[in-house]
A and B are shown apart, each in its own frame.
Chain A
Amino acid sequence: MDKITTDICIVGAGPVGLFAVFEAGLLKMRCHVVDALPAVGGQLSEIYPKKPIYDIPGFPEVLAGDLVKNLEQQIAPFHPTFTLGERVDDLEKLDDGSFIVRTVAGTEIACKVVVIAGGLGSFEPRKPAIEHLDKYEKNGVEYMVRDPEHFRDKRVVISGGGDSALDWTIFMAGLCKELTLVHRGTTFRGAPESAAKVLSMAEEGQINLILKSNVTEVHGEEKLEAVTVMVDNTTPHQIEVDNFIPLFGLVPKLGPIEDWGLELEKNAILVNTEDYSTNIPGIYAIGDINTYPGKLKLILCGFHEAALMAQSAYNIIYPDKKFVLKYTTVNGIQELQA
């Protein structure tokens, strides 16, 4: 378990969380950034890395992925530290006004200010509507393949027809004792090479492929023992399994942010537009995650919010100093010690 100490803990490594590191760094405040996803960039990396954006001031056109790269470069002199692939689950406010931020994996970040830049929330797996499915979560049902070794010599059913279902089927075929891929359709949405590979593996008997079918029931005493596949929507077929892995893509969920005592309105955090502070002193919310009269969910607006947040956070982190606006043109970038 890691313990990290910093000035500002930023929840969310989307464009707005990244730019907040820059604005904080100009004022000599150190940042640690946490994201549930394994890579930085938020929606830009997860949803549209190859799409051009046309409304970033000074860039007539920039690919989302390139904007993220540029932001990483821009904040490098301030040596932010990162915890990626871990969702923040819990915020605790201590008596001295500082915070402990905790992730699912138990990483703890001690900080004076928390900046929530959580966008649409954290991307969570889409779960099929199968009765009692939750009973077997961690007991045979997995929504993500974290470590394929976990499935060595197991009997596994994967369902889904997108890239991740295809990729994992190909990868795990040699590993599992028995691997079945169940897909509602007759064609695959994933990369054509992967689809062709899966079809040929099925022909050669390396995997079982059941098309036009759904997993409709899960069975077992304590742990998962079998699933029922409704073949052609008419014929039930039971398969004995150790693991069932539904892979139907990711959907953003506000998730734990809902439980931190923040004032919410329509799945967003209400903020004061003077400095983007929330109802809890020391916690700010910037970017897509916040709301206020006139809010626009644009990168541009999130950047502005980051700048105002930073000058307000400065008063918490350096209570004895007076904030003075300095131009980067005049002062340059004063690197923070790593």
Chain B
Amino acid sequence: MKDAINIYVEQDGGERIELEAPLDMNLSVMEVLKANEFPVQAVCGGMAICATCHVEVLQSGELPDMSDDEAYMLETLPHATDTSRLSCQLRVTPELDGLVVRIMPEA
């Protein structure tokens, strides 16, 4: 079994930056983004109450369902799209391999 997956962050120009996300550390995608110094504030530290870890999913396999908290939070965001997610709620699992996200502006 692989011990890490790859996640891609699409930049404004369309370029995709590849990140390696270890599977054995119980990380969220938010934590992977932060560890790689992407500009996600993640103010609430992963409690699904601040939406400062908002990403748009551009490409993925089956994603885990949203909790009510995540769904409500995204519904109240002015610029959320149909494929918006809170990256703190996405756990790094083998199913996420190849995920492509775009980091959404905060305000």
Whether A52 sits at the interface, judged by CB under 8 Å, is no
23 A-B residue contacts at CB 8 Å? Answer: A47-B43, A47-B44, A47-B50, A48-B47, A124-B107, A127-B107, A129-B105, A161-B72, A161-B75, A162-B76, A165-B76, A185-B76, A186-B75, A189-B72, A189-B73, A189-B75, A246-B78, A248-B78, A249-B50, A251-B106, A252-B41, A252-B43, A253-B107
Given known A-B contacts A189-B72, A249-B51, A129 and B78 have beta carbons under 8 A apart: yes
- Please indicate the chain B residues that have their CB under 8 angstroms from the CB of A251 in the complex: 41, 43, 50, 52, 106-107
Query: Within 8 Å of chain B (Cβ to Cβ): is A160?
Result: yes
| Contact A120 B41, beta carbon cutoff 8 Å | yes
CB within 8 Å of B: which of A170-222? 183-189, 214
Say whether A256 faces chain B, with CB atoms less than 8 Å apart: no
Residues of A with C-beta under 8 A to B52: 251
Query: With an 8 A cutoff between CB atoms, is B17 at the interface?
Result: no
List residues of chain A with CB within 8 A of the CB of B44.
47-48
Q: A20-47 CB contact bits vs B (8 Å, 1 = yes)?
A: 0000000000000000000000010001
Show the binding face of B for A, using Cβ within 8 Å: 37, 41, 43-44, 47, 49-52, 71-73, 75-80, 105-107
Instruction: List 10 additional A-B contacts (Cβ < 8 Å) besides A183-B76, A187-B71, A249-B50.
Output: A48-B44, A120-B43, A125-B107, A126-B106, A162-B76, A185-B75, A186-B75, A251-B52, A252-B41, A252-B43
Distance A253 CA – B37 CA, assembled complex (angstroms)? 18
A291 — which chain B residues lie within 8 A by C-beta?
A: none
- Whether A277 sits at the interface, judged by CB under 8 Å, is no
Given contacts A47-B50, A129-B78, A159-B78, contact A187 B72 (CB under 8 A): yes
A189 near B43: Cβ-Cβ < 8 Å: no
**Could you tell me how many residues of chain A have their Cβ less than 8 Å away from some Cβ of chain B?**
30
Q: Name the CB-closest residue of B to A189.
A: B72
Q: A97 within 8 Å of B by Cβ?
A: no
Nearest-neighbour CB distance to chain A for B11, whole angstroms, equals 18
Within the complex, the shortest CB–CB distance from B73 to chain A, in Å, comes to 6
Q: Complex formed: what's the CA distance from A249 to B48 in Å?
A: 13
Contacts of A253 in B (CB 8 A): 107
Q: CA A159 – CA B76 in complex, angstroms? A: 9
Task: From known contacts A47-B50, A126-B106, A127-B107, infer whether A160 and B76 are also in contact, taking CB-CB under 8 Å.
Answer: yes
Tell me whether B51 and A129 are in contact (CB under 8 A).
no
Across-interface contacts of A127 in B (CB, < 8 A): 107
Cβ–Cβ < 8 Å partners of A185 in chain B: 72, 75-76
Decide yes or no whether A148 CB sits under 8 A from chain B.
Answer: no
Given contacts A47-B49, A126-B106, are A184 and B76 in contact (CB under 8 A)? yes
A294 to B75, CA, bound (A): 38
A45-66 near B? 1/0 per residue, CB < 8 Å = 0011000000000000000000
Whether A281 is near chain B, meaning CB under 8 Å from some CB there, is no
Q: Which of A124, A125, A129, A249 contacts B76, CB < 8 Å?
A: A249
Shortest Cβ gap from B76 to chain A (Å):
4
With A129-B105, A251-B52, A251-B107 known as contacts, the answer to whether A184 contacts B75 (CB < 8 A) is yes
Q: Please give the distance in Å from B70's CB to the nearest CB on chain A.
A: 10
Quote the shortest CB–CB distance from A297 to chain B (angstroms): 10
Tell me the bound Cα distance from A238 to B44 in angstroms.
36
- In the complex, chain A residues whose CB is within 8 Å of the CB of B78: 126, 128-129, 159, 184, 214, 246, 248
